Amino acid sequence: MKRLSDNILLLGNTNFNYYLAGQKEAVIIECGMTAGVSLLAEQWASLPQKPEVKYILAMHSHFDHVCGIAMLKTLFPSALAVGSARTQKILTSDKVKQALKRADDIVTAAYIKNGLLKEKPADLNIELLGIDLCVGDGDSLNLGNDLKIDIFETPGHSPCSISAYFEQDKAMFLSDAAGYRDDSG
């Protein structure tokens, strides 16, 4: 857990990063997977001041960015899951959701085997894998107190990718749009 700026807190374990942006009202940027959300839940419990999480933002539909939606919705039942229209459509497929669950189960098992999780979390509920609110170019998520997150469509890494800009703290959230670490470094 690390404070990145006045209004942004980094949660997760660096493999799964979650950005809590806002003050009284907040968005969780990135959804990760059940294993990552399990770690976020522990960090959340230890936060002295908890904002109202109004939105959880899925940056694109790849498995390591959407499987966590289900557990995040359980943790924050009043929050809206937000993503692109393409991501929403992809997450209507039962076949896709079953495949996502299989991937999620593998990562959770690896976390437990390697001692990164103490307890097995509840199984991913695929009924909760979905986007409630579609966003695209020109849309914003209002966080009160004149704080907002602006959305940009940034296809390239995947057609469904979006990025988010938090003007107040001059922070851009690119997800995988600018590349990511692999074995080549």
Q: Is 148 in the site for Fe ion (CB under 5 A)?
A: no
CA 12, 15, 16 angle in degrees (round to 5)? 45
Binding region for Fe ion (CB under 5 A) out of 24-32, 62-70, 121-129, 131-139:
62-70
Relative to beta strand 52-57, strand 148-153 is unpaired
Instruction: Please work out the total of residues on this chain that contact Fe ion, with binding judged by CB under 5 A.
Output: 2
Nearest CA among 99, 130, 117, 101 for reference residue 39: 117
Among 62, 73, 86, 148, binds Fe ion (CB under 5 A): 62
Closer residue to Fe ion (CB): 158 or 168: 158
Interface mask toward Fe ion for 158-177; x: CB under 5 A: ------------------x-
Distance CA 13, CA 2 (A): 10
Closer residue to Fe ion (CB): 169 or 176: 176
Sign of CA dihedral 84, 134, 62, 60: positive
Minimum separation from the CB atom of position 185 to Fe ion (A) = 18
Q: Please give the residue whose beta carbon sits closest to Fe ion in the complex.
A: 62
Closer residue to Fe ion (CB): 66 or 124: 66
CA 149, 83, 180 angle in degrees (round to 5)? 85
Amino acid at site 75: L
User: CB within 8 A of 12, min separation 6: which ones?
Assistant: 18, 30, 32, 36, 39, 40, 43
Binding region for Fe ion (CB under 5 A) out of 61-69, 71-79, 80-88, 138-146:
61-69
Minimum separation from the CB atom of position 176 to Fe ion (A) = 4
Interface ranges with Fe ion (CB under 5 A): 62, 176
